[in-house]
Structure 1
Amino acid sequence: MKTITIEKTKSIQHLKFTIPQSHGVYLLVGANGSGKTTLLVCLERICNPNGFARGFSASKSFEAVDQYKNSSIKYEMDDPPICLLFRKKTARWAVSPKGKSGLLCYFGFSSSVFIKADSNRINITEDEIRTGTFEPADAQIKQVLNELFETNKFTNLKRLKNSNGRGRTTRYFYVIREGADQYYSEKRFSTGELALLRLVEKISNVESNALVLIDEAEMALHPRVQKRLLDYLKRIATEKHITVFISTHSITMIKATPKSNILLLESEGRGRYHITTPCYPAKAIGSVDYMDNVIYDAVFFVEDDMARLLFKKMLKVCCEVDRRFSTITNCIIPVGGYEQTSLLAINTNTQLLGKSYVCAVLDADVFSEALQTNKKMQKIYEMHQSIIFNLGCTPEIWMIEKLENGDVQVLTALRERFHYEVTTVIHSYEYLSCNSSKPRKLAKQKMDVVIKQFSEACGDSREIVLDAFAQILIDKAYSIGQIRAIVAPILANVT
């Protein structure tokens, strides 16, 4: 395990960050001032000895401003065992043990690239463009820019070489051929085009196993371009085995990222933060822009994707048979554990100030088990019973019970839909090998096997199979009266 512990540095009083073990693209998400850029600076220091000097600028003439005399940043890893502590000493950051900062090479990154959210990203030089030599632009850069902007104009991208005289740095300008002898330069590029040109230029040259850090990758980009940029970064991360960290407020990027790759910086108060991961995209979005993006009559928080799927279908049934609720717009958001789900509903309800009705719909085992043993949850429920409701089942356990009990209607419907027998699955070695001692986890294991084998047998994706399973179980195992008994009391609160 490799960790960075940041103490008393800028807005962070305390944050311990565990570096992911796998290559890929990771989003750093959090409210403004939560320390995302500070964390990127600390990550850059792994490969760049000047990372702190460049990232943590301090006032030289006024000691009371922007100083780091109480700051400390600690890097630790298990194998080989390393512990390096950096503190600010006068003009530089000193490491303890002394002279050992080179040990950061053991953290496994070959180099680092830090693309900051500053003027250099969109800078247009004031230098005059003069007659010079045209050189071809990198073919990969042209291809990527065409792909990101859905155009072919960058096919004509070239570099114009302007020599500045003996002993002076040669200046290159990007230009695009507009006609036989006509060009327009980067000085006429849009802000978004400039930002991506600089970004792609840097990333195209990164070596294998590098660390790429991007602050506010969405800067000046349309949401469609943001999504394509994210796809490009994922592809490069796979091809070059690099690790990419992006600090972002982009809802588009968050929605397109799996929960295992979202790192949410959450405040514990007084400058103390922790990282929540895996983190559902909806929860991450709630931390950055929730109030501006909720336009629903009702917002329902549930524990996981399975609960979301079932509750969505139950809502549809109830709204179809009870016209009082037919026009209600709603959003169902999977969060995680039942405590997290409850607390997020409570906090969001406070933030929205009645703009939307907000509640938590929890799995049935919370009410049959957790409320009997978990004192914290008991207190939460006692204080907020009006917005915490029972889903009526624990989805995976309920589904597996219906399959193993041989419900004729359910089995027949599944056979007709998929031309495959449930009994074949539940008597398979893979299914019988599921052995968790916890009922809910055991049911999840079994359900994974069921969906996997049905998907392989019929050729449909797992998502399609799961959706069909849920629909059949709702249609055959629940009566309309049972669904209304669960859902109508919740919808009755929507005004």
Structure 2
Amino acid sequence: MAAPTAPKLTSAWDSARHADNGWPQFLTAVRIEGLRGSSGEQVEFRYPVVAIAGANGSGKSTILKAAAAAYRAPSNTAAASYSPDDFFPRTPWEDVEGVVLTYTIRLGATTDTVTVRKPTRRWRGAPERKTRSSFFLDISRVQPANMQIGYGRTAQDVISSGTTEPLDAPGVAQLSRALGRTYDQARLDRSEDKQVGVLTQAGVEYSNFHQGAGEDSMLDLVALLTKAPDRSLVIIDEVEASLHPQAQRGLVTELLRLALDKKLQVILSTHSPFILEQLPSLARVLIAVDRDGQRQVLYGVSSDFALNKMDDKRHEELDIFCEDEEAQYLIERILALGAPETLERVSITPVGPAQTVIALASVAVKDKLSRAAWCVVDADQESSTDYGRLPGSEAPEKETIQALSDHHWSTVAERLGRPAGEVLDARDKALLIENHHAWTKEMARQLGGTMQPRKVWEAIADVWTIDVFGEHAAKEWSESVVEALR
């Protein structure tokens, strides 16, 4: 479930993304060629806060660093002015040549393309970049202060000649919410390029020499975000580093809140399902690498699918990828009736909208995934030899609910433990809603009590599979799965 701050941000993004009161300057896409195995892949940013997931070595950090080099810093600003050489230098081990970075940048309703390239020794095009306040936080931010070289001298310098920058009340509140703890005060004591974070909790003051790495990095991040100019670009590598799951969820909630309040654009990298599940599907990007080392950019993936692609501790022989949890359960029920022996050999995973399933199918048919896969779209999508479809001709909710007779609904009512009349009334009211995805939720609401939409859908799918679709049709439909397992 997405963070509680996501709906407001989504509403603002949908209504005012190009307007002056929205995100008039936005990095829409980055295309990378000739750098660290990249061969022209383009990554699009379709939401104010985007998380890029992928296994180690998939190129997440390269994408973030390329994005950080998209702009020059405005004059008279605290933001750093990054150059491509800051992130992709020539070293005794790497000779960086033949690189092209292409940026798609939106300015109001106008879209421009900016190219920065390094054909041989020099980067060209960097001075022509647009200006924008940008901030890049890499993984070094979580290194404990007492592990840094010269930390004692740092402390002394800050005490003797530093300045104090207290976090304001909203900033302290954001820090408290993100970490799930209550802080009285927070501040940064600075001296030139050195800083020490200081927190006060329950009247006890302690510096980042005695803070956990999560507290230290979170304080620095919140302080940066609260001071960053409106409409800045903020890039954070491995955003979940040193944070427990509750703090990860809290951080995303606050990032979405700040993105709305200050119209920030935030690009993250992550390996964490807790980060991904807090974001709308529009905000999730997965970099998948096949066995030949080719990268594919997938948008709108589910957190479960992204985690599966980053974890090799799996024992199933076949991945079945579908659109959503409704399709997932229906496929399971059909297989249970038509080919029950396959269930212990397959993993059924919802991955996102139909276009994501279709994009994944184009890779699966070339046998470039880590193991065999079969993709299934809803029945309202076009047919293709690259993927299968659910039975019928409509979305699964329409196909099943509209096909059940009153007799079938009596069986559904028995499974739900409710009178048939109440269930039929709930169905009739649900069908008045135009959005079929909301039908089972509305039925559950009408039935009241502890009834859950998932329970309603499972009862409907069970009855439809057995009494309407039937065993013979289930066996025919399951044959594609059986063949894939062969």
Q: Indicate the residue corresponding to 1:478 in structure 2.
A: 466
- Aligned in 2, Cα 1:460/1:248: closer, same or farther, shift over 3 Å? farther
Find 1:303's aligned residue among 322, 328, 342.
Answer: 322
- Aligned in 2, Cα 1:330/1:54: closer, same or farther, shift over 3 Å? same
Q: Indicate the residue corresponding to 2:309 in structure 1.
A: 287
- State the shift of 1:333 in Å: 0.9
2: CA distance between counterparts of 1:392 and 1:129?
64
The normalised TM-score by structure 1 is: 0.68
- Aligned in 2, Cα 1:208/1:317: closer, same or farther, shift over 3 Å? farther
2: CA distance between counterparts of 1:392 and 1:53?
48
- State the shift of 1:86 in Å: 1.5
Answer yes or no: is the 8 Å Cα contact 2:31–2:42 preserved in 1.
Answer: yes
Q: Indicate the residue corresponding to 1:408 in structure 2.
A: 406
- Aligned in 2, Cα 1:362/1:342: closer, same or farther, shift over 3 Å? farther
Q: Indicate the residue corresponding to 1:32 in structure 2.
A: 56
Answer yes or no: is the 8 Å Cα contact 2:249–2:274 preserved in 1.
Answer: yes
Find 2:72's aligned residue among 24, 35, 48.
Answer: 48
Counterpart check, 1:191 vs 2:196: no
Q: Indicate the residue corresponding to 1:114 in structure 2.
A: 136
Deviation string, structure 1 residues 65-103 (Cα, Å, up to 9, x no partner): 43333111123458546333212377752219xx643xx
Give the secondary structure class of the aligned counterpart of 1:247.
Answer: strand
Answer yes or no: is the 8 Å Cα contact 2:291–2:370 preserved in 1.
Answer: no
2: CA distance between counterparts of 1:68 and 1:310?
51
Pairing 1:65-464 to 2, within 5 Å after superposition: 65-76=93-104, 80=110, 82-88=112-118, 92-95=122-125, 100-101=128-129, 104-105=130-131, 110-118=132-140, 122-123=144-145, 124=148, 125-127=151-153, 129-130=155-156, 136-152=166-182, 154-158=183-187, 169=192, 172-176=195-199, 183-267=205-289, 273-288=295-310, 290-292=311-313, 294=314, 301-305=320-324, 306-312=326-332, 332-335=348-351, 336-337=356-357, 340=360, 360=374, 362=376, 370=383, 374=385, 393-394=391-392, 396-397=394-395, 399-401=397-399, 403-404=401-402, 407-411=405-409, 416-418=421-423, 420=425, 422=427, 431=434, 447-448=436-437, 450-451=439-440, 454=443, 464=452
Query: Which letter maps to 1:214?
Result: I
Q: Which moved more, 1:261-270 or 1:200-209?
A: 261-270
Deviation string, structure 1 residues 168-191 (Cα, Å, up to 9, x no partner): x496533345898x7432112222
Q: Which moved more, 1:265-274 or 1:113-122?
A: 265-274
Q: Indicate the residue corresponding to 2:37 in structure 1.
A: 11
Answer yes or no: is the 8 Å Cα contact 2:164–2:188 preserved in 1.
Answer: yes
Answer yes or no: is the 8 Å Cα contact 2:409–2:424 preserved in 1.
Answer: no
- Aligned in 2, Cα 1:191/1:308: closer, same or farther, shift over 3 Å? same
Q: Indicate the residue corresponding to 1:382 in structure 2.
A: none
- Aligned in 2, Cα 1:332/1:150: closer, same or farther, shift over 3 Å? same
- State the shift of 1:115 in Å: 1.0
Q: Indicate the residue corresponding to 1:383 in structure 2.
A: none
- Aligned in 2, Cα 1:199/1:408: closer, same or farther, shift over 3 Å? same
Q: How many percent of aligned residue pairs carry the same amino acid? A: 18
2: CA distance between counterparts of 1:263 and 1:13?
18
Query: Which letter maps to 2:425?
Result: Y
2: CA distance between counterparts of 1:215 and 1:134?
27
Give the secondary structure class of the aligned counterpart of 1:220.
Answer: coil
Give the secondary structure class of the aligned counterpart of 1:188.
Answer: coil
Answer yes or no: is the 8 Å Cα contact 2:68–2:134 preserved in 1.
Answer: yes
Give the secondary structure class of the aligned counterpart of 2:243.
Answer: coil
Q: Which moved more, 1:482-491 or 1:407-416?
A: 482-491
- State the shift of 1:246 in Å: 0.7
1: CA distance between counterparts of 2:232 and 2:118?
27
Q: Which moved more, 1:401-410 or 1:41-50?
A: 401-410
Answer yes or no: is the 8 Å Cα contact 1:40–1:213 preserved in 2.
Answer: yes
- Aligned in 2, Cα 1:241/1:420: closer, same or farther, shift over 3 Å? farther
2: CA distance between counterparts of 1:468 and 1:451?
6
- State the shift of 1:111 in Å: 2.3
Deviation string, structure 1 residues 14-43 (Cα, Å, up to 9, x no partner): 2223332x42x2111223222222221222
Give the secondary structure class of the aligned counterpart of 2:227.
Answer: coil
2: CA distance between counterparts of 1:286 and 1:394?
29
Give the secondary structure class of the aligned counterpart of 2:301.
Answer: coil
Deviation string, structure 1 residues 379-438 (Cα, Å, up to 9, x no partner): xxxxxxxxxxx8973595565355445611245557644563655666x6x75xxxxxxx
Deviation string, structure 1 residues 255-297 (Cα, Å, up to 9, x no partner): 4433322112234787653421122323322332x213x3x67
Deviation string, structure 1 residues 96-146 (Cα, Å, up to 9, x no partner): 9xx643xx35xxxx5222111225764453425456697754433432333
2: CA distance between counterparts of 1:237 and 1:156?
23
2: CA distance between counterparts of 1:339 and 1:179?
53
Query: Which letter maps to 2:100?
Result: S
Structure 1, unmatched stretches of 5+, are 164-168, 352-357, 378-389, 432-444
Structure 2, unmatched stretches of 5+, are 1-26, 74-80, 414-419
Query: Which letter maps to 2:179?
Result: F
2: CA distance between counterparts of 1:309 and 1:298?
19
Query: Which letter maps to 1:301?
Result: I
Query: Which letter maps to 2:460?
Result: I
Q: Which moved more, 1:86-95 or 1:481-490?
A: 481-490
